[in-house]
Each structure stands twice: as C-alpha cells, then as structure tokens.
Homo-oligomer: A and B are copies of this chain.
C-alpha cells in the first residue's frame, strides 16, 4: 500500500495531473520534483513530459485549477444582487470552511506561489472582481466611515487564517485533527456573528 489518489482505471495523463495537484499544492513549485509526481502517479517520468511538455506547463495547469477553486467560490456570492449583506457573509464563511476542510493546503499554496509568480492574478483579476462587487456596495452603505475593503479582508482573515496557521495551532496534542475541524465548524456561526458586530462598531 502506498498510492491513494490516482485510481487504477484513470488514464496516465489524468493520474499525472492528479498527482501533480497533490504534490504541487502540498510542497509548492520549487520544492516539487517531477520524479515525486511520477512516482506518486505510478508512471514513468518520461510520460510527464510526453503529456505536459514541462514541469512549468503542468504547474500552470494545476495553478489555474487551484486559483479557480479558491476564488471561484467567492465570486458568485459577492456579486449576487439579490442576497442581503448578512446572507453573503454567512455563505462566504460556510463555503470556505467546507472547502478548506477538504483542501487545507490551498490558501498557503495560493499565497506562496502568487508572491513569486505575480502574473497569475493579473489574469484572474481577483482584486477588481471584489472591489466592484455588490458586497462592497452593501458594506459601504451600512458603514460609510470605514473602507469596505477592511471588512472583506477581515471576514476572509477570520475564515482563512486558521487554516494557514494550522501547523502552529496543531503543534501540540492539545488540539488534534478532529478538534480543529470541530472548531472550524463552530466558526461557521461565530464569524458571521462577529462580522455583523464589527460592522456596527463605532
């Protein structure tokens, strides 16, 4: 027993992509060896280049997927003109907690790689996507004296930061994996409550 992800029936190409998703996301581009991916995929190293030409190209594919996964979640919520501010906050927190419990390495991966590869978000226009959102309008209306970006960053921070700090939080036996997950579940209700209180403040 060793492999887990790449199913026996999947094509070699898909096995490589699946292994690449896993290894790149966990270790980052620089620390990843193409041989790691090949081994985890259970295929010959040459097949990686046969199907994807280069490590960089394969990484690009994985990175695009991960960006879409990470930012695709928030886009429809913040731009829904029919939902209330409170509802938007609830959805953001709940969706992210669920997704991050399944993909705990995602935030650190995205942030780390983006810092070195600053072309990638120009493509995704993440910032504009949020700045021009309906959520921003609602925040501005409810609390005109504070820059709405403060609240967006805060809500995302309250939701995502625990997953980034997970290695520290779990560095003792005091908090095992299930307890961490339980706390994140609690935050689905806590963070929206807190956010609403924050917006009222002052």
Query: Contacts A156-B161, A157-B161, A157-B162 known; A131 to B172 CB distance under 8 Å?
Result: yes
Evaluate contact between A183 and B30: CB separation under 8 angstroms: no
Say if the beta carbon of A61 comes within 8 Å of chain B.
no
Are the CB atoms of B169 and A153 closer together than 8 Å? yes
Complex interface residues of chain A between 64 and 118 (CB less than 8 A to chain B): 105, 108, 111-112, 114-116, 118
Shortest CB-to-CB span from A29 to chain B, Å, is: 8
Closest 4 CB pairs of A and B: A157-B161, A30-B31, A30-B30, A194-B198
A165–B156 CA distance with the chains assembled, in angstroms? 10
**Complex: A122 Cα to B173 Cα, angstroms:** 11
Give A164 to B194 CA distance when docked, in angstroms.
Answer: 21
